[in-house]
Amino acid sequence: MSKINVAVIGVNGFGRAHLRAFDANKNANLVAVCDINEEYAKELGEKYNVAYTTSFDEILENSEIDAVSIALPDQLHAEYVTRALRAGKDVLCEKPLALNLEHCREMIRVAKETGRYLMVGQICRFTPGFVMAKKIIDEGTIGELFFVESEYAHDYSKMTCEWRKNDPERDGFLGGACHAVDLLRWIAGNPTEVFAYANHKCLKDWPSNDCTIAVMKFPNDVIGKVLGSTGCKRDYTMRTVLYGTNGTIIVDNTNPKLTLFREDAYLKEGCHETPIEIPVEVSNHNIIDEINEFVSCIIEKRTPILSPEEGAATVSICLSAIKSAKEHKAVEVEYDF
Ligand SMILES: NC(=O)c1ccc[n+]([C@@H]2O[C@H](COP(=O)([O-])OP(=O)(O)OC[C@H]3O[C@@H](n4cnc5c(N)ncnc54)[C@H](O)[C@@H]3O)[C@@H](O)[C@H]2O)c1
């Protein structure tokens, strides 16, 4: 296969970014867009000079379309992904993979049965600062990790979409903080146990908690925490601190510098206050690289790094934190998919 023909489903929000990335990818042909809202479908179809429709069935029946990119409300991921896989399409699905483990398992099962590609868009795996942090850790520069923390702070109070706001199953810790959870499990492995507290003080007209702090036990005796706040009054941030026995990394997807403290640098300079600052590109929604990975996996017949099992593991950790906060006890995380 030299080029793949792609349709984007759900185009008015983050789907616009998917469209830009497929349009820029030299191995993909954007051939159609689909949105339940005809106005959006028409606008984006005309903008990219491709076919547009409000009917997902039409997309599924079109044998010229090899792959679909699902940028639909979280509640629809499981249904639309499984229908697309069964119709023989490869699928990129936005995060979180689904809102419960039953749906995650079904998506994994159908992907296996049909033999199609299913990749989940956990975009932080492509954020330049986070990629750099992981490289530094993997090279052993900061020694052995012992504590990792990340926060997802994003004020949702002005977001108007009803699907985000009115579904009690879509707790902000799953919908938003899944980014920080996925980042930490990418760096430190799958936590075995989670204990969380949560409160509900900012988004009072939303049905679920808006702030959760989840403490986790990772493999190799690493401990860590994720803060998720969707009502905070501040700029969006995913500030992350990664502590190793020989150094520390501070990295934020909104900051053009990664800060690295190294024990050997202190010794050389005799000073504990001279970190090394490494310039990084601020690209906190690096959809270009995410979509390059999806397209090249299909063309090179390579399993996506972000398999549905990866997406399900992240969902499972988030759900464990939500459960822990409700039941006031530690929860063992399930990875049986
Ligand atoms: N990776 C990221 O950083 C990131 C950022 C934003 C959103 N997201 C994810 O992207 C997905 C979409 O979020 P959004 O913010 O773009 O939402 P949105 O509500 O802004 O856009 C969703 C689009 O889907 C369309 N739609 C709704 N139901 C449909 C249906 N049945 N058939 C066809 N079209 C339908 C809507 O008309 C709208 O155009 C969510 O899963 C969200 O979690 C990811």
pLDDT band at 168 (very low <50, low <70, confident <90, very high): confident
Mean pLDDT of 154-167: 91
Alpha-carbon distance 17 to 26, whole Å? 16
153-172: burial string, b at 16+ Cβ within 10 Å, e else: bbbbeeeeeeebbebeebbb
The domains found in the chain, sorted by start residue, are: 4-124+286-305 (3.40.50.720), 127-283+316-332 (3.30.360.10)
Mean pLDDT, the chain, rounded, equals 95
pLDDT band at 270 (very low <50, low <70, confident <90, very high): low
Per-residue model confidence (pLDDT) at position 161: 87
Give the position, in ligand 1's atom list, of the atom nearest the Cα of 123: 1
pLDDT of 284 above 90 = no
Q: Which residues line ligand 1 (CB under 6 A)?
A: 9-15, 34-37, 40, 56, 71-74, 76, 94-95, 121, 123, 161, 285
Q: Provide the whole-model pTM.
A: 0.97
Beta bridge partners of 212: 198, 228
Alpha-carbon distance 192 to 335, whole Å? 9
pLDDT band at 271 (very low <50, low <70, confident <90, very high): low
Measuring from atom 15 of ligand 1, which residue has the nearest CA? 13
Radius of gyration of the chain (CA): 20
pLDDT of 267 above 60 = no
pLDDT tens track for 130-141: 999 999 999 999
Dist. CA 237 → ligand 1 center (Å): 21
Mean pLDDT of 142-165: 94
For 11, residues 6+ apart whose C-beta sits below 8 A from its C-beta are: 18, 19, 33, 34, 35, 40, 41, 44, 71
Mean pLDDT of 135-152: 97
pLDDT tens track for 68-82: 999 999 999 999 999
